[in-house]
């Protein structure tokens, strides 16, 4: 009898040890905190990435306390067969079960994309490719897709008007098509009925407002001058005068490093040269900001027809209603350029 009791106790003890061992194993593999508080807990998975790529990324960022337990948990959940591209955030102290649940179900976190102060759509594509999964080439292909442009009433020349500089929240693995839809939606939201009515009152379309805004941005870095410059160019347009905007010449020459626009520059053959062609150029010469668009819509009413950079090189301008007054300011500015030996 005593032997049976002893055997029973031994068996019970072994079963208890086995149960404890299983519990410890389950806890260690699935429930023990395993994500370390690394400098970056952001994981980016591309379509072509496999489980080894993920492990390498976790290793490079020193995010796992125990890689072996993570592998075991992944095998149990058959995760390698359920990988999804995307941007994921693993919180410090997270266990394998929760981390793999996020990765298996594709519970990614959105990213914020930002852009401003860009001249070319190509620059935008390059910048976006550093913030989302899509590469710059695939972005440019959809940006210049004829079907898209036609549906939006745009051309390759007027395309920069579509992009409203701002901060956008998107999925990191959003397709170029999805991003184009986002920008199109933002464009429509900005150009609401009130703003379209303001543009119409000025005799401009939304795209023409963008064209004028882009010129104004290149004319001055001083934002409080923008409504004044907008009013000036609107005055010239209404009078049928050439805009004679130096930035359009620089754009036509593809050289914004020019500090002194010379007569030879103003003779460049280009539809963007507003010294040779009346009215606005075919499209924006940069991607205009919201503030410059609003400066055009709220252009200051005055009688100015001319502007000249101040000779103190402050970035500000003299504004004139008469050519004689403008020429006096221009002479002062040219003398200052000569004194500083700025010849081109």
- Rounded Cα distance, 154 and 209, in Å: 14
- Rounded Cα distance, 304 and 246, in Å: 17
Paired strand residues for 64 = 35
**End position of a domain, from candidates 133, 166, 190:** 190
User: What pLDDT does residue 198 have?
Assistant: 98
- Rounded Cα distance, 272 and 250, in Å: 9
Whether residues 57 and 115 share a domain: the answer is no
Nearest to 295 by CA among 219, 178, 237, 209: 209
**End position of a domain, from candidates 151, 167, 190:** 190
**Cα R_g (the chain), whole angstroms:** 31
Q: Is residue 307 part of a domain?
A: yes
- Total domains in the fold of the chain: 3
CB 117 within 8 A of CB 289: yes
Q: Is residue 211 part of a domain?
A: yes
Q: Is residue 10 part of a domain?
A: no
* Helix (H) or strand (E) run with residue 170 in it: strand 167-170
CB 263 within 8 A of CB 191: no
- Rounded Cα distance, 302 and 236, in Å: 12
Quick count: other Cβ atoms within 10 Å of Cβ 105?
Answer: 10
Nearest to 124 by CA among 154, 86, 166, 185: 166
CB 63 within 8 A of CB 90: yes
In order along its 344 residues, the chain shows pLDDT tens digits of 556 555 554 555 555 555 556 665 565 666 789 898 876 789 999 999 999 999 999 999 999 999 998 999 899 889 888 899 999 999 988 998 999 999 999 999 999 999 999 999 999 999 999 999 999 999 999 999 999 899 889 999 999 999 999 999 999 999 999 999 999 999 999 999 999 999 999 999 999 999 999 999 999 999 999 999 999 999 999 999 999 999 999 999 999 888 878 889 999 999 999 999 999 999 999 999 999 999 999 999 999 999 998 888 888 999 999 999 998 998 888 888 777 776 65
Dihedral Cα 163, 169, 175, 181, nearest 10 deg: -40
* Helix (H) or strand (E) run with residue 94 in it: none
**Domain ranges, residue 260:** 194-339
User: What pLDDT does residue 3 have?
Assistant: 63
**End position of a domain, from candidates 47, 80, 104:** 104
Whether residues 83 and 185 share a domain: the answer is no
Whether residues 204 and 313 share a domain: the answer is yes
Q: Could you please report the per-residue DSSP string of 180-201?
A: HHHHHHHHHHHS-HHHHHHHHH
pLDDT, tens only, 64-112? 999 998 999 899 889 888 899 999 999 988 998 999 999 999 999 999 9
Paired strand residues for 170 = 111
pLDDT, tens only, 146-195? 998 998 899 999 999 999 999 999 999 999 999 999 999 999 999 999 99
Whether residues 71 and 141 share a domain: the answer is no
- Rounded Cα distance, 256 and 246, in Å: 10
CB 283 within 8 A of CB 212: no
Whether residues 81 and 177 share a domain: the answer is no
């Amino acid at each position: 009898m005593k032997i049976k009791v002893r055997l029973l106790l031994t068996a019970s003890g072994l079963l208890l040890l086995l149960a404890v061992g299983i519990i410890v194993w389950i806890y260690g593999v699935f429930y023990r905190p395993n994500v370390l508080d690394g400098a970056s807990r952001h994981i980016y998975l591309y379509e072509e990435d496999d489980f080894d790529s993920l492990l390498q990324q976790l290793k490079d960022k020193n995010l796992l306390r125990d890689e072996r337990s993570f592998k075991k948990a992944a095998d149990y959940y058959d995760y390698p067969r359920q990988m999804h591209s995307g941007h994921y955030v693993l919180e410090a102290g997270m266990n394998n079960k929760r981390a793999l649940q996020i990765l298996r179900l594709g519970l990614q976190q959105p990213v914020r994309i930002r852009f401003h102060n860009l001249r070319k759509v190509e620059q935008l594509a390059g910048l976006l490719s550093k913030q989302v999964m899509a590469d710059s080439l695939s972005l440019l292909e959809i940006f210049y897709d004829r079907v898209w442009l036609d549906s939006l009433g745009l051309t390759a020349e007027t395309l920069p008007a579509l992009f409203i500089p701002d901060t956008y929240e998107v999925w990191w693995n959003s397709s170029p098509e999805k991003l184009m839809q986002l920008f199109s939606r933002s464009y429509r939201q900005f150009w609401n009925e009130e703003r379209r009515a303001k543009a119409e009152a000025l005799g401009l379309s939304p795209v023409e407002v963008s064209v004028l805004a882009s010129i104004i941005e290149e004319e001055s870095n001083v934002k409080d001058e923008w409504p004044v410059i907008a009013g000036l160019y609107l005055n010239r347009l209404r009078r049928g005068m050439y805009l004679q905007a130096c930035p359009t010449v620089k754009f036509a020459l593809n050289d914004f490093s020019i500090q002194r626009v010379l007569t030879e520059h103003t003779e460049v053959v280009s539809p963007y040269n507003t010294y040779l062609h009346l009215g606005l150029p075919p499209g924006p010469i940069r991607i205009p900001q919201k503030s410059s668009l609003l400066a055009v819509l709220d252009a200051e009413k005055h009688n100015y027809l001319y502007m000249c950079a101040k000779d103190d090189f402050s970035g500000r301008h003299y504004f004139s209603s008469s050519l004689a007054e403008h020429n006096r300011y221009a002479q002062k500015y040219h003398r200052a350029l000569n004194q500083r030996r700025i010849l081109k």
